[in-house]
Every structure is written in structure tokens, then in C-alpha cells.
Amino acid sequence: MNNNLVSTSMEKSFGKSLLYTLPMFLITFIFISGGKVDFSNLPAALAIVVTFLFMNILYFMMHYTGKTDKFRVILFIIFALSLSFTLIKNMMEMRHSMSFSQADLLECKIPFCHLVIPMMIIPAAFTKSIIFPGSVIGGFADISSMIILWLVATLVLGRGFCAWGCFYGGWDDGFSRFRKKSVIKKISESWRWMPFAVLFMVALTAAMTLGPTYCDWICPFKAVTEFEQISSVESVAKAVVFISLFLSLVVVLPVLTKKRTQCSFLCPMGAVNSLSNKITPFVVKIDKKACSECFKCVQVCPLFALTKEDVKNGKASVFCSKCGKCVDVCSKNAIHFGIKGVPAGTMKNFSRNLFLFVSFLFISVFSAGSIINAVQSIFKLLF
Ligand code: SF4
Ligand code: SF4
């Protein structure tokens, strides 16, 4: 069969794509604007309208072109940049600095982050109180709503959270697309187990110290969010660790390997989400009858989630974030979003539409606040 015909079988007509976009259009309008836009504050109203239209155009294009990752990554990167922008802006307004003091820490004036969740659970079980709670000030989500959102996403999307929800993932995802071809081509897949070792270590040390050891010592994203004041040898050592990890795992290695190396090798949340992939309804499947075993999908996978054996076995591994990059690259339309229990190669359109609806709705709702905030700041600068 003609490859072009096969590869575009997920494309839809303009009218049909509009029809598929309509429910997202209505739901995101209610979520983003609260049902009405107040034009008395023009920059804020314009920021809402621009964000809302931008998101729905991306969703429409996913249906119209049949491509997923190509449009997902635009929103994902903008989410990561705008979150850091919003966070830094709020830090500067609150305390005129990106760094926090011990007093800020004790008074809970620091934002809560989902990466803390694996470190909170064990200490919380011991002490019956939450260690390292976050701020509820300004634009930051409060702890309970963040945990509920993360739990829902984890149960429904599994590791899909790492491609459709994580507000840091856009950084290494973005840098992994800087070059057309990778410089470092061969990395052992066994490194993908590293986040489980990190998870084990941080959970253990968090239980022993009753503190957030990952945030304290390792988190590479301190470089683009908030960090401890540099006031001692210990704080200097911490700063050196997180800046080195940011530069190596978030910037340099993604550029050289075209892989999301921070997410693949370090993030303890990635390990938790990989485990939850076992219980989610969505999975990336391979229709073995259509597959020509070219293994292009294996090469492009940014998370080492797809091996030649996985392709032969007919489904992606538990490391899969459901980003859709492998699906976009397959000229045989053999690899696709599927639902557990439904045989590979069947109900492809239905499975993709359902998955796209759930995951896109999640990222839209999760990212809207910080994107609107960033866009509004740009408008205020311009006008
Ligand atoms: S699923 Fe598609 S891209 Fe992957 S090996 Fe088969 S034909 Fe190639
Ligand atoms: S297997 Fe496909 S969908 Fe899963 S992480 Fe790799 S490229 Fe993304």
C-alpha cells in the first residue's frame, strides 16, 4: 500500500477536525475564563483570549494533521518556560530574590512542587504531619489541589504525566530538539532504571532526616525556579550540584543525545509514574501485521521506552510517556495509542481521540494559569 496513504490515515477533514475540537473549545473556555472574559482589564482579557485560542488551535491541528507530538511539544515547552517565568516573577515580587531563607522555609513561603510528593509520603507516615509544605500565595496551586491533580493524572495517564503534565519536562524536551541529529548515538538502555535508584535513595534519606532531600540537594530545576540563599559552605555545595545537574542533564546531554536525559536518568517522579503506567487504561501499541520493523520509532523515543524487543512484543514499555513521537514518525501507521484489553491494530482512531481528549484537557487546565500570567506580563510590557 502507498506509504503516504497509510501515514495520513489519522488525518481528518477540516470540518471533522472542527467537530472534534468543539468539546475542547467549550470546556477549556469554561476552565480558562470561568465562563466570561472581563474586558475592563484589557491585558488580562487579551492574555486569556490568546491562551485559549492558541491551545485550541494546537488541539485542532492534532486532529487535522494526525500528528500528536509535533503540537504537544509546543504547549509543553511554553508551559515550562511560562511556569519558570511566573515563579521567578512571583519570587521577585514577594521577596525581591529568587532565593529563600530558612525563615521563608519555616513559614512555608516556598512553592509546592509535585517532585516532593515521593519524599512527603514516608515522613508523613512517621510524623503524621506533612514535611515541606508549599506556599498557597498568589498564583501557586495549593498542596491539596496539586496532589489531587497529580493523583488523577497518574491514575489516568500514568507516565503520560511526564509528557502532558509535568511543568519542568518542557525544558529537556525542548533542548533535545535543538539539533537535527544526535552527536552521542549509543547509550545503554539500562540507565533508564536509574530513577528507581534515585527514588529509593531519596525516600530512604527523607525518612531518615524527615526532610526533602531531593529538593535540598539534587533538584536541577532550582536553577530556573527558587533556591536556598547562598550563606554557607553547604549552600554553595548545593548550588554547585543543582547547577551542574541542570547544565548536564537538562541542557547539554539532551542537545547531544536528542533524549530527555533528566527525565530518563534522574527524576524520582518519573519512576513513580512508570510504576503507575501498569494501572492506566492507555498504552502505546504496535500492530505487528502492519509493522515493517524499520525501528525508526525506537530511534526517536526520547525516554528509552521502546526497544526492538518491545516492538516485536507489540507494546511500549512501562517507561513510555505517551508523547506520541514514535506514532508521528511511523510511516506504516503501525504504532498507535491504544486501550488496554483492545487488540493492537483495532479502534485506532477511537483510542487516539479518547487519549488526546483526556491528556490535552489535562495539560490545558494545568498550564493555563502560568501561560496566561506570562502572556499578560508581555502585554503589559508592550502596551
Ligand atoms: S512501528 Fe512503525 S516505525 Fe516502529 S518499527 Fe514498526 S514500522 Fe517502523
Ligand atoms: S514509546 Fe513512543 S510515546 Fe512512549 S515515550 Fe517513546 S516515543 Fe513517546
Which residues constitute the domain of residue 69?
1-96+347-383
Say what the pLDDT of residue 212 is.
74
Same-domain status, 117 and 184: yes
Which ligand 2 atom is nearest residue 321's CA? Answer: 5
pLDDT digits (tens, 9 = 90+) for 107-163: 666 666 666 666 666 666 666 655 554 544 444 455 666 677 778 888 889 999 999
Same-domain status, 120 and 173: yes
Give the pLDDT band (50/70/90) at residue 5.
very low
Among 161, 282, 303, 336, residue to substitute to test ligand 2 (most atoms within 8 Å of Cβ): 303
Average pLDDT (57-75) is 97
Q: Which ligand is nearest to the CA of 330?
A: 1
Residue reference for cell 547547577: 243
Which contacts qualify for 131-135: CB closer than 8 Å, 24 or more apart? 131/206, 131/210, 131/211, 131/212, 132/211, 132/212, 132/215, 133/108, 134/108, 134/110, 135/108, 135/109, 135/110, 135/111
Same-domain status, 66 and 177: no
Residue bearing the CA closest to ligand 2, atom 7? 301
Phi/psi of residue 179, each to 5°? -105, 155
Same-domain status, 91 and 181: no
**Ligand 1 close to Cβ of residue 78 (< 6 A):** no
Separation in Å, CA 223 to CA 117, 171, 226, 227, 253:
20, 12, 7, 7, 16
CA 20 to centroid of ligand 1, rounded, Å:
27
pLDDT exceeds cutoff 50 at 301: yes
Give the pLDDT band (50/70/90) at residue 2.
very low
The set of cell numbers assigned to 140 is: 501557586
| % the chain with pLDDT above 70 | 85
**Ligand 2 close to Cβ of residue 283 (< 6 A):** no
Q: Which residues contact 346 (CB under 8 A, 6 or more apart)?
A: none
Among 159, 263, 301, 336, residue to substitute to test ligand 2 (most atoms within 8 Å of Cβ): 301
CA 312 to centroid of ligand 1, rounded, Å:
10
**Picking from 100-104, 213-217, 244-248, 274-278, which range would have the lowest pLDDT averaged per residue?**
100-104
Residue reference for cell 539500562: 190
Which one of 74-83, 139-148, 374-383 scores highest in mean pLDDT? Answer: 74-83
CA 278 to centroid of ligand 2, rounded, Å:
15
Contact (CB, 8 A) for 66 and 11? yes
Same-domain status, 102 and 202: yes
Same-domain status, 125 and 260: yes
Say what the pLDDT of residue 136 is.
42
Give the pLDDT band (50/70/90) at residue 7.
very low
Say what the pLDDT of residue 229 is.
76
Average pLDDT (100-112) is 63
Say which amino acid occupies 117: I
CA 37 to centroid of ligand 2, rounded, Å:
38
Q: Last residue of some domain: 222, 255, 279?
A: 279
Same-domain status, 254 and 119: yes
Is the whole model's pTM more than 0.85, yes or no? yes
Same-domain status, 113 and 89: no
Say what the pLDDT of residue 19 is.
95
**Ligand 2 close to Cβ of residue 160 (< 6 A):** no
> Under DSSP, is residue 37 helix (H, G, I), strand (E, B) or coil?
coil
Same-domain status, 165 and 235: yes
Say what the pLDDT of residue 227 is.
73
Residue 87 or residue 115, greater confidence: 87
CA 177 to centroid of ligand 1, rounded, Å:
21
Q: Where residue 292 sits, what CATH number does that domain have?
A: 3.30.70.20
Say what the pLDDT of residue 138 is.
44
Residue 335 or residue 242, greater confidence: 335
Among 1, 287, 311, residue to substitute to test ligand 1 (most atoms within 8 Å of Cβ): 311
Number of domains, the chain:
3
**Ligand 1 close to Cβ of residue 206 (< 6 A):** no
The set of cell numbers assigned to 356 is: 488526546
> Under DSSP, is residue 316 helix (H, G, I), strand (E, B) or coil?
coil
Say what the pLDDT of residue 32 is.
85
**Picking from 22-31, 89-98, 249-258, which range would have the lowest pLDDT averaged per residue?**
89-98
Write out the H or E segment, with its range, that includes residue 349: helix 348-382
Same-domain status, 333 and 360: no
Contact (CB, 8 A) for 249 and 224? no
Which residue in 334, 240, 254, 371 sits closest to 3, CA to CA? 334
pLDDT digits (tens, 9 = 90+) for 193-249: 999 999 899 888 877 877 778 877 888 888 777 777 788 898 889 889 989 999 999
Residue 91 or residue 300, greater confidence: 300
Give the pLDDT band (50/70/90) at residue 370.
confident
CA 194 to centroid of ligand 1, rounded, Å:
27
Say what the pLDDT of residue 293 is.
96
Which ligand 2 atom is nearest residue 303's CA? Answer: 5
**Ligand 2 close to Cβ of residue 316 (< 6 A):** yes
Say what the pLDDT of residue 339 is.
95
Which residue in 200, 202, 220, 224 sits closest to 212, CA to CA? 202
**Ligand 2 close to Cβ of residue 335 (< 6 A):** no
Q: What is the largest CA-CA distance in the chain?
A: 67
Same-domain status, 27 and 155: no
Q: Please state, rounded to an integer, the average pLDDT across all residues of the chain.
A: 85
Residue 34's region, left for phi above 0, alpha for psi from -120 to 50, else beta, is left
**Ligand 2 close to Cβ of residue 336 (< 6 A):** no
The set of cell numbers assigned to 27 is: 470546556
Burial category of 74 from C-beta neighbours within 10 Å (exposed 0-12, middle 13-18, buried 19 and up): middle
Same-domain status, 192 and 307: no
